[in-house]
Amino acid sequence: MKTAINVRPYQIMCLICRIGRDEEANYYFEEKLDNLQKAIMADLNQPLLLRCNVESTFRFQNPGTELDTPEGELFNLRRDLTILQRLGLTPGSVYPATDLIRLFVNELKDCSDICGAPPNSIEIWQGCKFATSGNYERGLKDALTTLGGIRPKSQRIACKQETAPQMYKHKVLEIRPHHLLCMICFLDGKTLEELQPIDEDHLYEVLEICQENPHIPIKLVAGPCMICPPCHGFDPHSGTCSAAFGMGLRDQKKDLDTLRLLGLKYGDVLSAVELYNLIFDRIENFTAVCGFTTAHRTGPAWSVCSGENDIDGRKAFYEGKKCGLHIPGIKKHLE
């Protein structure tokens, strides 16, 4: 296992904050931040161990005050703990850098309550000198391309233009199992004429291929698949997906749930018609897979794509069942 780098939660915010600085303002522990940024940019999946000083049962991981910034002990204690509380994380946990940065960017949209001073504050709660600078909020805009591994839009569009035509040349489509459900969601009962290919993935292209050739073989594969290359979550270097915090985990869970319900395994090859007839016979609705059966979000890594607390799942599934995805040979469930 790759050695994790110890990180105080506030340092991730400061990395984002520095990206938005106007002039060469000096940040505390600048060299440490430089080294952290370099390590993340060298390996987006670099494990980061979140450590902060606490007085509870979690004190086993206390890092000491060496990296406390000069605003004072209480400010430092509260800043780290507030970050973890907002993100639903606990100290002593290790996460891949790219997932963690996406969580910060998605969940911590401003720094005022974390780094700033409350009204009528006494000296020890004055907060960070950059809290009202706007640096953090500006840094958020570029944080994902600078630190989080998202390829610039121009690169993703070039990838789409290069890989979309290749999709039509494959004799066998290699698809991760739960993407077969994403195709139902994407179509939402419409015809392809009512939709457009999108820049983010190849769902449209695969649907078009299956409608034109219902017997095209589909091989079920693990992890990111032919649909993924232009996606903002896909890292071509590692071949992993981190479109959001824990995305790779919940996608794998959905893949395994799909295989289990269909009675299949990775490597199996079935035609598009055979696969969708099995799906509509054996899967009740999206909640069975995309809602992890309960439709409850059990933590920051386990969001529910089919609609939180919506046990019936999205209507797109039932629309897909009715129209058989307009793929000739798929049984239409008209009831």
Q: According to the binding rule CB under 6 A, does residue 115 interact with ligand SF4?
A: yes
Number of residues that bind ligand SF4 (CB under 6 A): 23
The stretch near ligand SF4 (CB under 6 A) out of 125-133, 158-166, 260-268, 271-279 is: 125-133
- Considering only residues 14, 81, 150, 221, which one is a binding residue for ligand SF4 as defined by CB under 6 A? 14
- Considering only residues 108, 111, 295, 330, which one is a binding residue for ligand SF4 as defined by CB under 6 A? 111
Minimum CB separation of residue 233 from ligand SF4 in Å reads 4
Q: According to the binding rule CB under 6 A, does residue 180 interact with ligand SF4?
A: no
Q: 303 near 170, Cβ under 8 Å? A: no
Distance of CA 319 to the CA centre of its chain: 27
The stretch near ligand SF4 (CB under 6 A) out of 52-60, 84-92, 124-132, 306-314 is: 124-132
Nearest Cα to Cα of residue 297 among 43, 88, 12: 88
Q: CA-to-CA distance for 101 and 312, rounded, in angstroms?
A: 33
Q: Which is nearer to ligand SF4, 225 or 272 (CB)?
A: 225
147-178 burial: b if 16+ Cβ within 10 Å, else e: bbbbbeeeebeebbeebbeebeeeeebebbbb
Q: CA-to-CA distance for 40 and 47, rounded, in angstroms?
A: 9
Residues from 197 through 256 that contact ligand SF4 (CB under 6 A): 201, 224, 227-228, 231, 233-234, 241, 243, 247, 251
Minimum CB separation of residue 200 from ligand SF4 in Å reads 7
Q: According to the binding rule CB under 6 A, does residue 186 interact with ligand SF4?
A: no
Burial of 65 (C-beta count, 10 Å sphere; 0-12/13-18/19+): exposed
State the residues that interact with ligand SF4 by CB under 6 A: 10, 13-14, 17, 27, 111, 115, 128, 130-131, 135-136, 201, 224, 227-228, 231, 233-234, 241, 243, 247, 251
